[in-house]
Amino acid sequence: MSSVLEHRRDYLRLMRQFTLDKGYFTVTDIQKSAGIPRSTAQDWVTRLLREGCVLIRGEKRGRSPARYAAISAVPSSTCKRIFTTVDGSSVEIYHDCMSGACAAFCGHHHALAGGVLSRVERDGTLLRESGRLGSSEISIGLFPKSAVGVCGIECRDDLIVQHIRCIGGPAYSLSGMMARAEGVVHVESQHNGHLVEGRVSTQALMKVTIGIDDTDSNEGGATFALALALLNHVGRIKGVLPISHHVAMLNPAVFRKTAGNSASFIEVAVQPGRYAALVEKTQKFLADESLSVEWGLAIRKGLIVPENLREYGRMVRTKVIPRTIAEATAESFGIRLIGGEGVIGALGAVALTGLSHDILLDPTKNDF
């Protein structure tokens, strides 16, 4: 998204929050909260007044500044983030909503429509959809038909463009809300009879999975907690968008463990040019924060998990794996290992990515 659109979204959101909290805002409120020059704050207030997004609630009188209000306290968008990762012809679409109900609605209707989407799953407010480049006809309409679906995905330069067809509430979301979501570069929409058709453009990002193990000790710490802290840490890197955090149970019979032998992995979407910075900051964070000298990292790029890598995931839940096997496996799949003996479990966590929580948390479920 261009810097102008980003600023517009951020300042309008700030103005709406002030309107909700105290019924109005002043130029000084926006200046101080956004940390920008007063002239910049005034320019944006004036601009949004012209656009009809803001109104004057009280004229300037003496030392009392002018008071303004955002016209609507309704959220400008229920879509917090929309972004995409690509690997060859495979694409994953991530739609982070303000509401789990909204995510469930879109997930239900997208799955019903089918089209170019092969898998739709929801985890809380995050909707994750797997698809392919191409197009497919879908039937959209009122119940019992789907109200919204993805009928095409294309890669255009460094953008992924979703072709969406919808009716009713989803049409309002497409035409009035999705452009304000973080990660969206551009939205085009048009009416076609009683339907609305549109194109949503997002950056073509790279998916990176980071497995982590052996960061705790008998004295304290927990790998799952450190993994979650890492996700929050790398999410501050420009060009890195956090996706998810997972816990994976490994072989409970391994004798060298602090407790139940669980590893963790996190998933992020990365601008290709920021990959090196991601690896560097990840390694430094674990080296600084781990309570064990045997901490290990496994870092993998890509969406599709090959079957032979899945097999390593099964092995690490049923056998005691030597480091040499982990290193050979990682090399064959272009996975980077960093650290001590923890790389064995970290690679196992990466090999289990994409599986449901029920499978991840039960080491006896290995028929995936």
What percentage of the chain carries pLDDT values higher than 90? 77
d(CA 311, CA 111): 29
Query: Tokens in use for 144?
Result: 């019992």
Q: What is the pLDDT of residues 88-136, one digit of tens each?
A: 999 999 999 999 999 999 999 999 999 999 999 999 999 999 999 999 9
As given in the structure block, the two tokens for residue 292 are 């064990």
How much is the average pLDDT of 233-255?
Answer: 93
3-state secondary structure of 96: strand
Whether the predicted pLDDT of 1 surpasses 50: no
Least confident range from 15-19, 79-83, 154-158, 211-215: namely: 15-19
Measured CA to CA, the distance from residue 277 to residue 237 in angstroms comes to: 8
> Can you give the pLDDT at residue 26?
96
pTM: 0.79
Amino acid identity at 185? V
Mean predicted lDDT score pLDDT of the chain: 92
| pLDDT score of 75 | 58
Question: Residues 124-143: pLDDT tens digits?
Answer: 999 999 999 999 999 999 99
Contacts of 265 (CB under 8 A, 6+ apart): 209, 210, 211, 212, 227, 245, 246, 248, 346, 349, 350, 352, 353
Sorting pLDDT into bands at 50, 70 and 90, what band is 166? very high
Q: Are strands 195-213 and 79-87 parallel, antiparallel or unpaired?
A: parallel
Is 76's pLDDT higher than 90?
A: no
| High-pLDDT (> 70) share of the chain, % | 97
Cα–Cα distance, 122 to 295 (Å, whole number): 31
